[in-house]
A and B are shown apart, each in its own frame.
Chain A
Amino acid sequence: MIERDEVLHVARLARLALTEAEVEAMRGELASVLSHIAKMDELDLEGVPPSTHVVQASGALRADVRRPSLSRSAALSQAPAVSEDGEGFLVPSPQA
């Protein structure tokens, strides 16, 4: 089992609220999955380079040119809340 405090710490990092029942379930399930992940420890990984790209990456850079994008109204069209002037996303105040 993973400690309750550790589950709550990770949940806070993930910006994920959990109920008491979810916290308890997570303690066992995460521990169980991590015990299987520990199979990696069987391998000697000394000197093995970590993968960054598995297939040769190409063309990742392009010229920085201005071009048309979504209109403001299209970008805002799916927002749960939009400011009264229609200019931006509306969120609760971070200070509240």
Chain B
Amino acid sequence: MSDGELLRLSAAEAAAAMRAGQLDPVELYRAYRQRAGADLAAGEHGLNCFTWVADDDGAAERLGSGLPLAGVPLAVKDLFCTEGVPSQAGSKILEGYRPPYTATAVARLEQAGAPLLGKCNQDEFAMGSSNETCAFGPVRNPWDRERVPGGSSGGSAAAVAAGLAPWALGTDTGGSIRQPASLCGVVGVKPTYGAVSRYGMIAFASSLDQAGPLSRNVTDAALLLRHMIGFDERDATCLHFPNHIEIPQEGDLTKTKIGVASQLSAEGGALERGVEDGVAQAFADALSLAGQLGASVRTVALPHAPHALAAYYVLAPAECSSNLARFDGVRYGLRACAVGDRDGGGQAPRPGDASGEGDPSEALFGIEAEGELIGMYARTRHDGFGAEVKRRIMLGTYALSAGYYDAYYGRAQKVRTLIADDFRKAFEQVDFILTPTSATVAFPLGAFSSDPWAMYLNDFFTVPMSLAGIPAISIPCGRSGRGLGPDGEGLPVGLQIVGPPYSESRLLQVAYVLEQALRFDGEVALA
């Protein structure tokens, strides 16, 4: 088989061919490794999808036989800990960190036969919607290099779209799998909260973080998800998932009740800046196609969904400010010396030590008269965290500080209850809810760099489901107009399908039926 033919096999097709002995796992692994490695070597001239790529075929050579994932290489978002392999979560504060253990989700997939291909670039600690907050440079969208791939799992999404990996692991806190899937024209699944173990995922917001697949098609997503889910006693919020993930089959949508919520509709709903025409058109076409396939479509109400972003930007930063307290220069990663102490407290500098960086004469505030130890913490955190992460730590610390807790965190937890109740009531009337995944196609690099809230609005359609803990999938449902053009014409549009807790198999089935009818062509990005 030529490399071109190898790379065009879906993950499920490749796994079937390898199980049947028609394809050599090492040959497939090497083809992807060379492709991913070339992108890594190209640096900023490439797509910058990877922060690390395996430098030999050992992972594929060591595979046992008869494994269900049969040697299909796996790209993994950088924030999953992988033993002995750099795991930096897109942050300078973890530069060079090689964890002594592997995340459960990755370990399960390796045991099922998926060898680790590489680690994918991401927004720093998964805080971003464009992959521009990464300490190792932005990821570029394979459909248009001057545009973002979305975030925070942008490296994973772009790698799959560009054929640098057959499939990838991402994580979704407020849309970080679904939104980049939408912007890159691939499939992305955020499972029910608790379906996949968070053990070994470098935490952002623990009540929201959830791992999931990014893939070229729905069948591949189902196959990967099947081998990720399951109880893990090392994550206290991990669930006994009540059923097996089914591989979707041919079918139609008769007896399927689909809901559309005016608050999250393509007419803009409650999003004041509206939905792009090309997105609205593709969404309307997908809805009418669902009707042709036999689905009944009706309106449902999600009255509190417009308040989701406000609640999310209290809860997620609050949890982040607590989770990121662990980065203090003691146990791993970067250590800067204390202010006024340029020799690192008498210790010899080590690789990755930043004591030589920055302007030593620059005044730093917030740590006056705190002593050498706290000074070291505060300086390390100053040097190691990027602007967006600092902003969220400050916001979360503010919201949790004495006198503000009830006004912010307490209120946000109540809004979260209302949003979850809205979905519960809606799912008494319909099986699934459809929304656009993102109000826009991929936007130009730098488009939202001056206004944090404008960037946050990119997750308007994905945050409500995260707060409710329910599963959702994004599939490509068309392109914005015909042919690629300078103003975003021809870029992929994502359709979000949302279901109640544990509905993953049914969700994947509906997504598959729509995918077969939509016949989205993602070849452009493979070039």
Contacts and interface: CB of A to CB of B under 8 A. Distances in A.
Interface of A: 6-20, 22-23, 25-26, 29-30, 32-34, 36-43, 45, 48-60, 62, 70, 74-75, 77-81, 89-96
B401 A48 contact: no
Contacts of A49: 414, 417
A90 B365 contact: no
Given A29-B452, A34-B395, A96-B372, 8 more contacts: A13-B401, A23-B365, A37-B310, A38-B310, A45-B418, A50-B417, A58-B239, A77-B98
Nearest to A47: B414
Contacts of A57: 194, 236-237, 239
Interface of B: 97-101, 192-194, 207, 231, 233, 236-240, 304, 306-307, 309-311, 313-314, 321, 325, 328-335, 338-339, 341, 345, 347, 350, 352-353, 362-367, 370-379, 381-382, 385, 387, 390-391, 393-395, 397-398, 401, 408, 410-418, 420, 451-453, 456, 467-469, 501
Most buried by A among B194, B321, B333: B194
B365 A20 contact: yes
B45 to A, nearest CB: 31
Contact of A78 (B97, B417, B420, B452): B97
B331 A89 contact: yes
A69 to B, nearest CB: 10
Q: Which 7 A/B pairs are nearest by Cβ-Cβ distance? A: A11-B366, A54-B469, A50-B413, A80-B335, A96-B372, A17-B382, A17-B364
9 contacts: A17-B381, A22-B387, A37-B314, A43-B307, A54-B468, A77-B98, A78-B99, A91-B376, A95-B371
Contacts of B341: 92
A93 B373 contact: yes
B365 A78 contact: no
Contacts of A23: 365-366
A85 to B, nearest CB: 15
B331 A78 contact: yes
Contact of A62 (B233, B332, B333, B415): B233
Nearest to B420: A54
Given A8-B366, A51-B417, A37 B313 contact: yes
Contact of A43 (B194, B240, B304): B304
A20 B100 CA distance: 38
Contacts of B401: 9-10, 13
Nearest to B328: A15
A32 B239 contact: no
A56 B500 CA distance: 13
Given A10-B398, A54-B420, A79 B331 contact: yes
A33 B453 contact: yes
A70 to B, nearest CB: 6
A52 to B, nearest CB: 8
A10 B414 contact: no
A22 B313 CA distance: 20
B330 A33 contact: no
B325 A15 contact: yes
B378 A51 contact: no
B332 A79 contact: yes
Nearest to B409: A50
Nearest to B362: A19
Nearest to B231: A59
Contacts of B416: 50-51, 54
A15 B365 contact: no
A40 B347 contact: no
B373 A92 contact: yes
Contacts of B469: 54-55
B371 A33 contact: no
B345 to A, nearest CB: 4
A54 B364 CA distance: 41
A11 to B, nearest CB: 3
A56 B178 CA distance: 24
Given A36-B310, A51-B420, A57-B237, A80 B329 contact: yes
Contact of A10 (B311, B333, B397, B412): B397
B394 A39 contact: no
A56 B379 CA distance: 41
A91 B330 contact: yes
B373 A94 contact: yes
A6 B399 CA distance: 12
B365 A30 contact: no
B209 to A, nearest CB: 13
B193 A54 contact: yes
A11 B352 contact: no
B420 to A, nearest CB: 5
A42 B307 contact: yes
Contacts of B101: 70
A36 B460 CA distance: 13
Nearest to B239: A58
